[in-house]
């Protein structure tokens, strides 16, 4: 069974503020067995999977990590809302992936920047924004450089220095954000002062960002699939 099952089972129970003992009673299993399921030590049967899906009001696909949506649905590029209704992509067979990923990223940024406004830290806002801009800058330079005829004078930083310099700047931005969200005040910076405003659950995110929640959870799903793939590649070598 998918290793996501244990994580999602635990997440759902805690988000709903249900004790493990209570959940076990409601699901008709011992607390010890439910603990094993939530820790990934045991695999459940189909009957329990269906009961758990009904209990938490989600789909079996969601419990198994096969869908980022609690209802188990999948989304297409046409179902994702546009950031700007006046700038809709003209989707052709060759541009579907670009249009889909553009909407995922753009819509997810709506959620992310809304969260930044609640954190009470100018450091987090500044450095998180800088990190994202650097990531786009770095990728843009790679694509720009694909054609050697493109004039490198378009940029101020030499192309041999740019990749490593970008990584260094991104690492510093990441370090400052990590410190700020941990409550550490570094020289010239501040720390998160409104952590209570950043309490989130899958349910609260869906309610607060009904237009963009699907994009956010699909972006997370896609990103973690990439991360997991790195581990699989290492094992195959």
Contacts (Cβ under 8 Å, ≥6 apart) of 152: 145, 158, 159
Residues 189 and 139 in one domain: yes
User: Does the pLDDT at position 46 exceed 90?
Assistant: no
Greater pLDDT, 56 or 92: 56
Residue 230's pLDDT is what?
A: 86
- Mean of the pLDDT values across residues 140-157? 90
Residue 75's pLDDT is what?
A: 52
SS (H, E, C) 174-220: HHHHHHHHCCCCCCCCCCCCCHHHHCCCHHHHHHHCCCCHHHHHHHH
Residue 233's pLDDT is what?
A: 62
User: Does the pLDDT at position 56 exceed 70?
Assistant: yes
Residues 126 and 173 in one domain: yes
Q: What is the mean pLDDT of the chain?
A: 85
Query: Which range of residues forms the domain containing residue 170?
Result: 79-236
SS (H, E, C) the chain: CCCHHHHHHHHHHHHCCCCHHHHHHHHCCCHHHHHHHHHCCCCCCHHHHHHHHHHHCCCHHHHCCCCCCCCCCCCCHHHCCCCCHHHCCCCCCCCHHHHHHHHHHHHHHHHHHHHHCCCCCHHHHHHHHHHHHHHHHHHHHHHHCCCCCCCHHHCCCCCCCHHHHHHHHHHHHHHHHHHHHCCCCCCCCCCCCCHHHHCCCHHHHHHHCCCCHHHHHHHHHHHHHHHHHHHHHHHHC
Residues 21 and 104 in one domain: no
Structure tokens at 133: 């801009």
Residues 48 and 106 in one domain: no
In a domain, 73, yes or no: no
Residue 208's pLDDT is what?
A: 92
User: Does the pLDDT at position 236 exceed 90?
Assistant: no
Residue 112's pLDDT is what?
A: 95
For residue 48, count CB atoms less than 10 angstroms from its CB and return exposed for 0-12, middle for 13-18, buried for 19 or more.
middle
Greater pLDDT, 236 or 50: 50
Number of domains in the chain: 2
Residues 58 and 85 in one domain: no
- Mean of the pLDDT values across residues 151-155? 86
With a pLDDT cut of 70, the percent of the chain lying above it is 86
Residues 85 and 34 in one domain: no
**Which range, 30-34, 227-231, 232-236, is most confident?**
30-34
In a domain, 70, yes or no: no
In a domain, 74, yes or no: no
Residues 97 and 49 in one domain: no
Global pTM? 0.71
User: Does the pLDDT at position 114 exceed 70?
Assistant: yes
Cβ atoms of 203 and 15 closer than 8 Å: yes
Residues 18 and 131 in one domain: no
User: Does the pLDDT at position 84 exceed 60?
Assistant: no
């Amino acid at each position: 069974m998918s290793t996501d099952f244990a994580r999602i089972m635990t997440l759902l129970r805690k988000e709903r503020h249900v004790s493990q003992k209570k959940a076990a009673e409601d699901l008709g299993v011992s607390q010890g067995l439910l603990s094993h399921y939530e820790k990934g030590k045991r695999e459940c049967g189909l009957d329990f999977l269906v009961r758990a899906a009904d209990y938490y009001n989600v789909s079996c696909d969601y419990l198994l990590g096969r869908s980022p949506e609690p209802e188990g649905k999948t989304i297409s590029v046409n179902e994702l809302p546009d950031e700007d209704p006046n700038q809709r992509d003209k989707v052709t067979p060759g541009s579907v992936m670009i249009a889909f990923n553009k909407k995922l990223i753009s819509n997810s940024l709506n959620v992310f920047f809304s969260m930044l406004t609640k954190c009470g830290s100018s450091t987090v806002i500044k450095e998180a924004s800088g990190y994202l801009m650097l990531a786009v800058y770095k990728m843009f330079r790679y694509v720009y450089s694909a054609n050697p005829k493109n004039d490198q004078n378009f940029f101020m930083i030499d192309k041999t220095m740019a990749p490593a310099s970008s990584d260094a700047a991104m690492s510093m931005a990441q370090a400052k954000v990590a410190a700020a969200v941990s409550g550490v005040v570094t020289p010239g910076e501040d720390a998160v002062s409104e952590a209570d405003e950043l309490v989130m659950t899958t349910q609260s995110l869906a309610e607060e960002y009904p237009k963009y929640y699907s994009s956010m959870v699909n972006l997370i799903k896609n990103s973690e699939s990439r991360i997991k793939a790195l581990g699989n590649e290492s094992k195959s070598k």
